[in-house]
A = this chain, B = another copy of it.
Amino acid sequence: MPEPAPPLAPTLAVIGGGQLARMMAEPAAAMGLPLRLLAEAEGVSAAQVIPDHTVGDYRDLTTLREVTAGCPVVTFDHEHVPTEHLHALEADGVAVRPGPEALVHAQDKGVMRERLAALDVPCPRNAIVTSAAEVEDFGFPCVLKTTRGGYDGKGVWFVRDAAELEKVGAEAFAAATTSGVRIIAEELVDFRRELSALVARSPSGQAAAYPVVASTQKDGICHEVIAPAPDLSPELAGRAQEIALRIAGALDVTGVLAVELFETDDGRILVNELAMRPHNTGHWTQDGAVTSQFENHLRAVLDLPLGAPEPRARWTVMVNILGGPDAGVGRLYDGYPHALARDPHLRVHLYGKELRPGRKVGHVNAYGDDLDDCLERARHAASWFRGDLGNESE
């Protein structure tokens, strides 16, 4: 094999081979930005589309150093790289974006809650708890979360009363002990709906705020997003964007920051979670915004000027394609003929993954002037790919 030519642009290292890295690869290819990937295994989602990839363990510093060697900047598909390794890479001279001091707030809910309180950002009432008795003192109903390692509904327990605490408390504290993390109790917010405020921020401090969206969860996993959030008052939308921009600035976030929020019936917004990477609630931007969250993440971490975050359509609806309980019959590709023929405006994103129960394997975007039409189109297509429609009357 002849020696490859020197790169035309700085090579960006990306840690983690999931679909977020895969979707970064699309704008990277478009913009001529070379990527180097650390993938968990051969054939994972992003490794299918990024030639310059290494298979290895992101918890191993030697591997991280090999992958980032010669790369001025490293960014992430997920938030699980150990903080001490990020500091070591910084000491090597690699710009870690987002940096470890910022990222810890997306990794550790205890640290996040403490910091947001100091920033006077409205959050659900919360406290670190170390025993069932402390949970009772905190009060019901509440939700218990491991401070680290939880995602997509894992590491989360709902506790409505003492009886439920009896059932799940032991499991929660055992899980925390096993993985060496803490448990945080949070009031169970009686929210009207969930919102998400997504911003991109560059090391120079430039920031771009996307329209605030409404998201619907199913079993703790993002299921559907409407952009912009319907009937959201401009005042509340502005406040949500202001909160996201304030957090991004105060924490010195570089790249995309997603702030998941609860909107309460009495017109408050409370921060639920932070993510410092492209986020499921931002997938609508691929087809619904001038600049996708993936492109703006790349532009932000490379300290290039950000692209316009404005919407290109009145409404964009994103629905995830998630394996149902009976998933696995047929191949996802077989959903294409009907879904595309029914809706020539539909945008389909598949991640190169087999359909399995509970697994996110893709999403669809439908945009247009009529929200009901977008909802119907996106829901139909996602159900079709999932294989749900056989048992449903349309």
**A331 in the interface, Cβ–Cβ < 8 Å?**
yes
- The answer to whether A29 and B26 touch across the interface, beta carbons within 8 angstroms, is yes
Question: Contacts A31-B349, A48-B51; is A8 near B332 (CB within 8 Å)?
Answer: yes
- The answer to whether A43 and B8 touch across the interface, beta carbons within 8 angstroms, is no
What is the distance, in angstroms, from A150's C-beta to the closest C-beta of chain B?
Answer: 28
Interface string of A288-331 (1 = CB under 8 A from B): 00110000000100001111100010000000000000000001
**A387 in the interface, Cβ–Cβ < 8 Å?**
no
Bound CA–CA A351/B29 (angstroms): 8
- By a CB distance below 8 angstroms, the chain B residues around A2 are 41-43
User: Which residues of chain A in 1-43 are interfacial with respect to chain B, using CB atoms and an 8 Å cutoff?
Assistant: 1-2, 4-5, 8-10, 22-23, 25-26, 29-32, 34, 41-43
Chain B CB within 10 Å, residue with most, of A8, A299, A353:
A8
- By a CB distance below 8 angstroms, the chain B residues around A10 are 333
Partner pick for A362 among B32, B43, B333, CB 8 A cutoff? B32
**A354 in the interface, Cβ–Cβ < 8 Å?**
yes
- The answer to whether B34 and A29 touch across the interface, beta carbons within 8 angstroms, is no
Partner pick for A53 among B47, B51, B344, CB 8 A cutoff? B51
- The answer to whether B32 and A332 touch across the interface, beta carbons within 8 angstroms, is yes
- The answer to whether A345 and B42 touch across the interface, beta carbons within 8 angstroms, is no
Nearest-neighbor residue (CB-CB) of A299 within chain B: B340
Question: Contacts A9-B333, A333-B10; is A344 near B306 (CB within 8 Å)?
Answer: yes
Q: How many residues of A contact B (CB 8 A)?
A: 55
User: Which residues of chain A in 275-293 are interfacial with respect to chain B, using CB atoms and an 8 Å cutoff?
Assistant: 286, 290-291
Question: Contacts A1-B42, A43-B5; is A32 near B345 (CB within 8 Å)?
Answer: no
**A237 in the interface, Cβ–Cβ < 8 Å?**
no
**A189 in the interface, Cβ–Cβ < 8 Å?**
no
Interface string of A340-361 (1 = CB under 8 A from B): 1100111011111110000000
Binding site secondary structure of chain A: loop
**A121 in the interface, Cβ–Cβ < 8 Å?**
no
Nearest-neighbor residue (CB-CB) of A312 within chain B: B312
Bound CA–CA A332/B30 (angstroms): 14
- The answer to whether B354 and A8 touch across the interface, beta carbons within 8 angstroms, is yes
Bound CA–CA A340/B55 (angstroms): 34
Partner pick for A49 among B42, B51, B299, CB 8 A cutoff? B51
- The answer to whether A42 and B332 touch across the interface, beta carbons within 8 angstroms, is no
- By a CB distance below 8 angstroms, the chain B residues around A9 are 331-333
**A337 in the interface, Cβ–Cβ < 8 Å?**
yes
Additional A-B contacts beyond A5-B43, A9-B333, A29-B29 (19; CB < 8 A): A1-B42, A2-B43, A4-B42, A8-B353, A29-B48, A32-B349, A32-B362, A34-B48, A34-B352, A51-B51, A208-B344, A291-B344, A299-B340, A304-B337, A306-B340, A307-B340, A307-B344, A307-B345, A307-B346
User: Which 4 residue pairs are nearest across A and B when measured between Cβ atoms?
Assistant: A32-B350, A9-B333, A305-B341, A305-B340
A-B contact pairs, 19 of them (CB 8 A): A2-B43, A4-B42, A4-B43, A8-B332, A23-B29, A25-B29, A26-B26, A26-B29, A29-B48, A30-B286, A30-B348, A32-B349, A32-B350, A32-B362, A49-B49, A49-B50, A51-B53, A208-B344, A305-B341
